[in-house]
Structures are given as structure tokens and as C-alpha cells.
A and B are shown apart, each in its own frame.
Chain A
Amino acid sequence: MAEESKQERKVCLRGTNLTKRFGFGRSQMVAVDHVDFQFYESEIISIVGESGSGKTTLAKMLLGLISSSDGDIYFQEQKRDIRSQKKKKEYWKNIQAIFQDPFSSYNTFIKIDEVLLDCINMRGGKKLPHAKKVELMTEACSFVNLKFAELTNKYPFELSGGQMQRLMIARIFLLKPKILIADEPTSMIDACSRATILDMLLALRKETGMTLIFITHDIGLAYFVSDSVYIMERGKFVESGTADSVILHAKEAYTKRLINDVPKIHEEWDLSTV
């Protein structure tokens, strides 16, 4: 992307020197190690790295679920302030996440209607007439090809993995956050359902203009969906740029190895390099 147009775009989320340490003394480890980034409005970003590289830890800091040990986060160019519960709630209207394991994401004892009603309430729709709420929930469900009428009075654990994943997207449809973080959203489902979930997320992003951050170790997925790709190795960003520049013209040995390790269809997969 040309420099001029990059400057026109508004920065949505920025991090400087962001760091997370766990533990103390000799057992201390740096899970996220002084990373810098800027994510733009409506941009699709992927953060790619191996298991344990610090991706989920970074996501949790961005979401304000854990505190950072060092560095700052700026939301819409203002230093993020989530020191009070009220401010935290306000921040969560803007940033939301869906996680790898859909089963762990819901409170088992809350019915699906309530899960969705909560979203409407969070968006300030508490006082809406009941019929209007049902209309909103029905619309959200049909966006992800679920039938609201069949879901009322059910509990999340009564759904299949794929249905549950789609219910999460229906929640996002109602919440309309400015930023959505998707942490390995498709690693537990087959290729076809993966295409469906991706289609839905991309359609939602088109409709709301939200910034979409994929966290994944699937470098093919990152290449397919993203504008920008960040490669993470042991807590650090070792390479970043447009998807084409990072994946097709990788400079770092680590990135090259990740790409080389993915099985290909049209190119020979070199097994001699492990």
C-alpha cells in the first residue's frame, strides 16, 4: 500500500513497547517482549506464530483481560484507560473477541436468549420493546444461518461446535464492536465449515467496517484474509508488512521456515528440512 493512503487511514489500536512477564526471579519468562504495532480502522490483521509464541497473551492484553508489565496501548490515539469497572465496560463496547474453543466461551447455565439479550442491553437497547429485541435477535441469527426460533430456551451446550461458533458471530453482529479479535477461530473445524465461518466474519467486517485481528498459526489463512501480517517468535514481532510482502517475499529465516513447513498443493513439500 502506498505511503499517502496509509496516512489517510486512521489508527485504531496502537501499542508501544508492549510487554508481559509471567512469574518471578529465575522462573520468570517474557511471554510478550516489547512489541510495537499500529492497527488501522477496517484493517484485517493476522498475528502468526508457533505454539507458545505469545499470541494469546498479547490478545488478552489488548482486550484488557490481563494487565501489561510494560508499554502502552492507545485506542483511537488516546491512551487507553480501563482503571475503573465502568471504563472497562465502555472499552468492551469497542473491542470483542471470539476464541478457539467455542465450548469454553459461554456460561453453561445461561440460555441462548439471554446470551443474545445481553448483547442488546450492552449496546443500550435495554429499554427496547420485547418485539423489537426478538426482531434484532432473529436478524442476528439469520445472518449466521441459525434459526432463532429453534434456539430459544436452549442452552449453549445443546449446540454443535459449528453452531456454537456461529452463535459467537451472531453476538458480534449485535455488539458491532470497532475491533474484533479472533483467536484461532477455525482450528477445530473442517475446511468447509472454516470457509463458512470466514465468509461470515468477512461479511460482518464489510458491513460494520470493524478492524479484524486474526490470531493463528495457520499461515495460509493469514495470507488469504489479511491486509497486514505480523510474525511472532518467542514474544517478539520478527517481521511485519502487507500479506504479499511477508508471505511471498519473506525476509526472516523464521518466517521462511514457517511457510516452508506448511504442506502445499501446487508446490513440492520439502520434508528433508525437519
Chain B
Amino acid sequence: MQSLCKFYEMGDQVVKALDSIDLDFGLNDYAAIMGPSGSGKSTLMNIIGCLDTPTSGIYELNGQQVAEMDDDELARIRNREIGFVFQTFNLLPRLNCLRNVELPLIYAGVSPEEREARAREALQRVGLGDRITHKPAELSGGQIQRVAIARALINKPSIILADEPTGNLDTATSHEIMKIFGELSEAGNTIILITHEEDIARYTRRIIRLRDGKIESDKPQ
């Protein structure tokens, strides 16, 4: 992405949430975006995740220009190329694990038999093969987040995006989750996660620091 900007107009004031951001992510990148609260981390992630479009600038994903896409094209990209993991998990509470995990495949038009098989497989990968009929309320925070990771994985996305995935978890569980991300990275997935905890960021191979909508530093580790 090049000179990416996102402005919010608040009355007569313009908030520069992102100000001329230039970034590149390669295949199998494993990066952490860090920075103080309000520095633009979530805004950046929403744009990378095609939930939002930039005010100006270029964003190219796998050779496709995202900035000019309409809502439905963005939805298609999110479905095929992006896997989200949220701080607040964002599972549908009335559906069991299997149904939650297979949801992206419904929108991709995959047949019920294949959906179920792939959802089982994804749950197995995050170590929840024996919990498939449980509803989110019957699981612990760590288990819920693992279901969310399984959902993010299911459609073999180009990028897995995680906005403070450990923000609502205790330290031990956080490290368990980070171990899963590590395994996924080793398996070849591209992962970008947001965190403000240094010891979470330490799991990644690249740290990008934001301040006031600008890149402060971008270092491999």
C-alpha cells in the first residue's frame, strides 16, 4: 500500500487516523502492529481487511485494487482472502462451533457435506475436535478464540488479521493462542496481528510501530 490515508471529519475538525502510510506485506509474513491507543492500528487493520476503504492512497491485494471496489466486491475479497480474529471473538452465540466455523463457506457457496468436513478439520487443527457441538457460551475464552481462529482459517485466506486477539485473555491462555499463530505461520500463512503487549509481539518476525497515524518504525526481529 502506498501513501494510504484515512481521515475522519468530526464537525469542522479532521482526524487523521492514518496519514500517508506506505507498507508491504509479503507471503508468509508474520507481523505485529503496535502503538498507543488511538494511533490508528484498528483503522489500518480494517483497511487491510477490506472492511473499510481508504480516503486516499493505493491498496493492492494480490494484484487487485481494493480502493475502487464496491461493497459486494469487498465482501467477496473478505470471504476469499481475509480471515479475521477479533479481540471480542465475535462468534454467533446461537450457533455451535461447527456452524460458526463453516459460516464463511456458506457465503462462498460450498456444499453442506464439504463445509462440515472442512469445519471439522479446522477445529481439529486448533485442538477443539471434541467440542464441535458446543455453543460459545459453554467454552472458555481461550477455546472461543480458538474457534474464531478456526473460522478465520477455514477458507484458506491470503492474510489472517487479528486485532488484539489476546486482549481479553489471561497470560497463560494468551501464550497458548500465540503458539497456534506460530504453527499457522510455520504452515505458510500470512499473519498480521495488533497488540500493545511487547511479549506478544515478540512471537512475530516483524514489528511495525504506529504513532498518530504515521509509521514510527518497521523492523524485523
- Answer whether A and B are interacting partners: no
